[in-house]
Amino acid sequence: MKTIIRKIDNLYSDHKFIEEAAGILQRGGLVAFPTETVYGLGANGLSAEACRKIYEAKGRPGDNPLILHIGDIEGLYEIAEEITPTAKKIIDKFWPGPLTMIFKKRPCVPDNVTGGLDTVGVRFPSNEIARELIRLAKVPVAAPSANSSGKPSPTRASHVQFDLDGKIDMILDGGAADFGLESTIVDATGGKAVILRPGAVTKEMLEGLLGYAEIDPAVLKKPDKNIIPKAPGMKYTHYSPKASVILVKGEMGKVVEEINRRAKEKQRDGLKIGVLATDETKALYKADIVLSAGSRNDEVSIGANLFKILRKFDYLDADIVFSEVFSEKGEGLAIMNRLKKAAGYNYIEV
Ligand code: AMP
Ligand code: MG
């Protein structure tokens, strides 16, 4: 299959491309599109056959459910029921935006969207291209991240093309994603708000609204047979580049020293070493590839750069990547959650 790529510079003058994409969705095809979190791989979310193609193109395990995206709030009531007062309060505050909510599903939602669960994840994105596409398609759009399963999520159209060229019908190129980390997932079906996956809508923001917010234990700890994530997709060690990623934790001066020492040692073994650094420390490292995720004073931009950088280490053929760690406050919780997964929970403490 030839993948059509359309660049959207302007919502009005390039509207014809969004119409073209909506037509593909209506005919059961696959369209990758930008959102404020990461690029999504969209299909008609009410068609089991169209959704099957998502799993096939991504190589996604069948038990990892898809999120349904709506273009306006009315769309929610077609696919979800029993919207608890807590859920209502949260969506009133944070939708449209980088937040997925779990609801009891209506029968029209196909089983392969929910991985057989009786709940469905729903998101109302704020990205204008995404919203216009969904509105024109006139159906909820099932869209997981538009990467090959296991790879870091795509934050640019070029990432999608690298993973899925020839496997999907179209890519809408709307530039770099604003947040660059997948949506926060919150389950309030039981009346209490529980974060199943951290993202740009932070625990602190939910606490500001509700006075509390719980976190699924699997977000903080390595999942094992006693700690099974409530979001099925969180059990996979994904976001990983080809290189083995090792997190190095401790006082900053010692971290730099330890990474340089280990880098030198591994280079002697003939390995290509990467370092995931920050603007503050970048100049201090001696390795083959040193990339800064941004300044520690701006964690939103670190979140936005993270997957791009993990992909770049791949592209530059790093064998091992040593990474600094971040505080788990605010959006740092989401950043560290993805980094820990990328590292397969591989830590060194100095
Ligand atoms: P992605 O869109 O690729 O970020 O993946 C979707 C994420 O949403 C995965 O981690 C899924 O496990 C999670 N998810 C989707 N539907 C549900 C649901 N009904 N209950 C819990 N988690 C869900
Ligand atoms: Mg994904």
Model pLDDT, residue 181:
97
Nearest residue (CA) to ligand 1, atom 13: 231
Q: Of the bound ligands, which one is closest to the alpha carbon of residue 236?
A: 1
Residue whose CB lies within 8 A of the most ligand 1 atoms, among 37, 69, 100, 153, for a mutation test = 100
Q: Is the pLDDT of residue 326 over 90?
A: yes
Q: Is the pLDDT of residue 300 over 70?
A: yes
Q: Is the pLDDT of residue 286 over 70?
A: yes
Token pair for residue 294?
């941004």
From the CA of 209, how far away is ligand 2's center (Å)?
27
Model pLDDT, residue 224:
86
Give how far the C-alpha of residue 229 lies from the chain's centroid of Cα atoms, to the nearest Å.
16
Report the nearest atom of ligand 1 relative to the CA of 147. 3
How far apart (Å, rounded) are the C-alpha atoms in residues 163 and 31? 14
Model pLDDT, residue 238:
64
Instruction: Report the amino acid identity of residue 127.
Output: N
145 lines ligand 1 (CB under 6 A): yes
C-alpha distances out from residue 102 to 133, 195, 206, Å: 22, 10, 15
Model pLDDT, residue 236:
76
Q: What is the SS3 assignment for 18?
A: helix
Stretch 242-271: mean pLDDT: 97
Q: Is the pLDDT of residue 115 over 80?
A: yes
Axis crossing angle, helix 85-94 with helix 203-210, rounded to the nearest 10:
120
Report the nearest atom of ligand 1 relative to the CA of 234. 10
**What are the phi and psi torsion angles at 215 (to 5°)?**
-120, 130
The pLDDT > 70 percentage for the chain reads 99
Between residues 240 and 274, the one the model is more confident about = 274
Asked if the 4-220 domain carries CATH number 3.90.870.10, the reply is: yes
From the CA of 38, how far away is ligand 2's center (Å)?
9
Q: Is the pLDDT of residue 171 over 70?
A: yes
What residues contact 68, with CB distance under 8 A and at least 6 apart?
45, 79, 109, 113, 120, 121, 122, 123, 140, 141, 142
Mean of the per-residue pLDDT values for the chain?
96
Token pair for residue 275?
């370092």
Least confident of 82-86, 182-186, 341-345: 341-345
Q: Is the pLDDT of residue 237 over 70?
A: no
Nearest residue (CA) to ligand 1, atom 7: 233
Strand partners, 105: 80
Strand 244-249 versus strand 99-105 pairing type = unpaired
Model pLDDT, residue 233:
86
Stretch 72-93: mean pLDDT: 98
Q: Is the pLDDT of residue 36 over 90?
A: yes
State the fold for domain 244-349.
Rossmann fold (3.40.50)
CB atoms within 10 A of CB 229: 17
Stretch 222-238: mean pLDDT: 84
Q: Of the bound ligands, which one is closest to the alpha carbon of residue 232?
A: 1
121 lines ligand 1 (CB under 6 A): yes
Stretch 147-159: mean pLDDT: 95
Report the nearest atom of ligand 1 relative to the CA of 145. 3
From the CA of 341, how far away is ligand 2's center (Å)?
12
* 301-320 pLDDT, tens digit each: 999 999 999 999 999 999 99
38 lines ligand 1 (CB under 6 A): no
Stretch 167-187: mean pLDDT: 98
How far apart (Å, rounded) are the C-alpha atoms in residues 271 and 268? 7
Q: Of the bound ligands, which one is closest to the alpha carbon of residue 68?
A: 1
Between residues 274 and 232, the one the model is more confident about = 274
**Helix (H), strand (E) at residue 321:** strand 320-324
Token pair for residue 349?
């403490």
What residues contact 48, with CB distance under 8 A and at least 6 apart?
110, 111, 112, 113
Stretch 20-24: mean pLDDT: 98
pTM score over 0.95: yes
How far does the chain reach from its first CA to its final CA, in angstroms? 50
Model pLDDT, residue 235:
82
> Hey, where are the domains in the chain?
4-220, 244-349
Asked whether the domain spanning 244-349 has the same topology as the one spanning 4-220, the reply is no
Axis crossing angle, helix 15-26 with helix 128-137, rounded to the nearest 10:
50
Between residues 239 and 227, the one the model is more confident about = 227
The pLDDT > 90 percentage for the chain reads 94
Token pair for residue 163?
């993973």
150 lines ligand 1 (CB under 6 A): no
Token pair for residue 13?
């003058």
